C-alpha cells in the first residue's frame, strides 16, 4: 500500500508529504492544493480529533418574518412560485408584506388593524385573500349552455361490445387490399 488511508492518523497534508518524501508520489503528480496549503497554512490544523470552537449561533430574524408567519397562519398558501421564470412575478405573500410595511410606515392605522387593511388593499388590486369574498367569474358560460355545446359537437356514443384482435386486424387487412 502506498500510504495510510485512515483519516484518524495524521492529516491529508501529512500523508501527501510522506508520500512525496518516500518517493511513492512523484513531484509532478502532486495535488493542486498542496502548494496552496504550504503557502497559506490554516490557523488550526484540520485534524479529526480537534474539538470545534464554542461559538453561540445567532438567530437571524427579520421583522417581515413575523408578518409572513401571520399571513400564512391566517390565509394559508397561495399557489406555487415558478423558479425557472426569468423575470418572476412577486408572490401574494410578498405583495402582502410590502403593503403591510407601507401601512405600518404610514402610521395612520392602529397596529392591530394593519393586517386587515393590508388584505383590503390587495382586494382593491384584485387579489382576494379571503376566497369567500372573491367575485364569481362572469366569463364562464352557464351550465346549460355548456351541455348544448357538447351535445351538438359530439356524435352519439356507440355501444362497444367485446373487441377481438382478429376483427381489428381483419379490418386493417381489408383496408390494405383496397389500396393495392
The pLDDT, as a whole number, for residue 30 is 95
pLDDT per residue over 87-96, tens digit each? 888 888 899 9
User: What residues does each domain of the chain span?
Assistant: 1-53, 63-132
Q: 53 or 164: whose pLDDT is higher?
A: 53
**Terminal-residue alpha carbon distance, the chain:** 76
Q: When comparing pLDDT for 49 and 96, which is higher?
A: 96
pTM of the predicted model, to two decimals? 0.46
Q: Is the pLDDT of residue 79 over 70?
A: yes
The single residue listed with the C-alpha cell 490544523 is 45
Mean pLDDT of the chain: 78
Query: Do 27 and 18 meet the contact criterion of CB atoms below 8 Å apart?
Result: no
Q: Reply yes or no on whether the pLDDT at 155 is more than 50.
A: no
- Specify the pLDDT at position 131: 66
What 3-state class would DSSP assign to 135?
A: coil
Q: Select the more confidently predicted residue: 40 or 134.
A: 40
* Average pLDDT for 111-136: 80
What gap in Å lies between CA 64 and CA 124, rounded to an integer?
22
| Class of residue 71 by CB neighbours under 10 A (exposed 0-12, middle 13-18, buried 19+) | buried
Amino acid at each position: 500500500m502506498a500510504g495510510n488511508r485512515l483519516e484518524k492518523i495524521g492529516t491529508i497534508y501529512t500523508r501527501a508529504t510522506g508520500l512525496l518524501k518516500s518517493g511513492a508520489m512523484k513531484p509532478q503528480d502532486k495535488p493542486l492544493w498542496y502548494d496552496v496549503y504550504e503557502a497559506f497554512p490554516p490557523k488550526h490544523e484540520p485534524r479529526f480529533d480537534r474539538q470545534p470552537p464554542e461559538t453561540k449561533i445567532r438567530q437571524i430574524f427579520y421583522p417581515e418574518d413575523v408578518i409572513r408567519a401571520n399571513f400564512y397562519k391566517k390565509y394559508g398558501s397561495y399557489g406555487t412560485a415558478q423558479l425557472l421564470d426569468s423575470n418572476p412575478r412577486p408572490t401574494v405573500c410578498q405583495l402582502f408584506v410590502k403593503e403591510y410595511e407601507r401601512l405600518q410606515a404610514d402610521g395612520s392605522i392602529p397596529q392591530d388593524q394593519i393586517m386587515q387593511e393590508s388584505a383590503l388593499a390587495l382586494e382593491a388590486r384584485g387579489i382576494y385573500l379571503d376566497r369567500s369574498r372573491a367575485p364569481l367569474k362572469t366569463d364562464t358560460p352557464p351550465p346549460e349552455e355548456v351541455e348544448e355545446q357538447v351535445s351538438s359537437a359530439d356524435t352519439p356514443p356507440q355501444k362497444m361490445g367485446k373487441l377481438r384482435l382478429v376483427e381489428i386486424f381483419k379490418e386493417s387487412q381489408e383496408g390494405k387490399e383496397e389500396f393495392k
